Amino acid sequence: MVYETYGEPNEDKSNVIVVCHAFSGSHHAAGRYDDDKKPGWWDALIGDGKAVDTTKYYVICVNVIGSCYGTTGPKSENPKTGRAYGLKFPVITIRDMVRAQKTLFARLGIFKAKAIIGGSMGGMQALSFAVEYPDFAKIVIPMAATHATSPWVIALNKVAQSALLADPAFDNGNYDIEEIRQNGLPGLSAARMAGYLGYISPGGMSGKFGRNYVANDGLFELFGQFEVERYLDYNGNNFVKWFDPLSLLYLTKAINIFDISYGYDTLEDALARIESSLYLLSFKGDTMFFPSEMQNIAKIMQKQGRENVSYICIDSDYGHDAFLVEVEKFADLVADILEGKV
């Protein structure tokens, strides 16, 4: 398990905040190393004097199992064979990710948390923490998530998986990682492009790109591009340089099979276990995990007479990735929640 911490724990470790990363994120949630081209993925939210204030709180972010940033994953060495696990790595679940983190926290002497915060797959982890370990965190803030992955998201992930598996260079998972980073892997690039259809809403695409055409491309050149096409090409090709293809397969599988009610008689039974103060944040323009999905969790808990749940829809047209891109729209809210003002 690879993790990163920010700030200092107080004497009784009552100021611990767990941050859960999304699908292609990592333990590097904030700050900048000397060789970083950009800071950690939630640097706008976490740091001294920021919403998650590291002068007050001790923040820990753990790279999930199955990912490719140091925690055991499909490209890790199988001690039984001396070779990478590859496609023999077991299917993992969001619950597995949370269980592994909980084990790590115990090893670090962390048995309680002030709060757990995460978006998208990180929000799924936050919800899973709340259900599986009801007395662990006082506050849980899932963002842009759901209680069970919808057919729409499963379909988007299927397109991404199929693009990757159709590329001969994937070689049934037996590729050389350095070779594909140097030469590219079109299937993984296309998979990333498919992902952006969920990450940015149609309105977000229009606002970001419009119908702007690349200035030095001819409109009637067959391979001339709109700016949105160039953006997808750029991000798809770059993705190969820093993310692992097998991790894409395993993490999208974990997202697809996520259902917080799995193992319980009903969704109501699962949600009834939550003791934390639950703050559900959705984003109006999210066309991946629709606001109604988060609102439904709140409605069920409120029908149970629960007063420990709040639902807030952030006014944003950007899309699913608003929890990463438009931090300024909810940072003050998060700060107020942590300080007990909401």
| 277, two tokens | 């103060």
Chain center to CA of 238: 19
Using CA atoms, how far apart are residues 271 and 146, in angstroms rounded to an integer? 12
- Axis-axis angle for helices 245-256, 186-199 (nearest 10): 40
Using CA atoms, how far apart are residues 14 and 52, in angstroms rounded to an integer? 15
Q: Is residue 84 helix, strand or coil?
A: strand
Catalytic annotation, pick one of 24, 26, 67, 120: 120
Using CA atoms, how far apart are residues 245 and 66, in angstroms rounded to an integer? 11
CB within 8 A of 111, min separation 6: which ones?
13, 105, 136
Q: Does the active-site annotation cover 21?
A: no
Catalytic annotation, pick one of 53, 167, 244, 286: 286
Using CA atoms, how far apart are residues 199 and 133, in angstroms rounded to an integer? 30
Catalytic annotation, pick one of 27, 28, 320, 321: 320
Q: Does the active-site annotation cover 320?
A: yes
Q: Is residue 60 helix, strand or coil?
A: strand
Burial 182-191 (b: 16+ CB within 10 A, else e): eebbbbbbbb
Q: Does the active-site annotation cover 120?
A: yes
Using CA atoms, how far apart are residues 310 and 341, in angstroms rounded to an integer? 13
Catalytic positions = 120, 286, 320
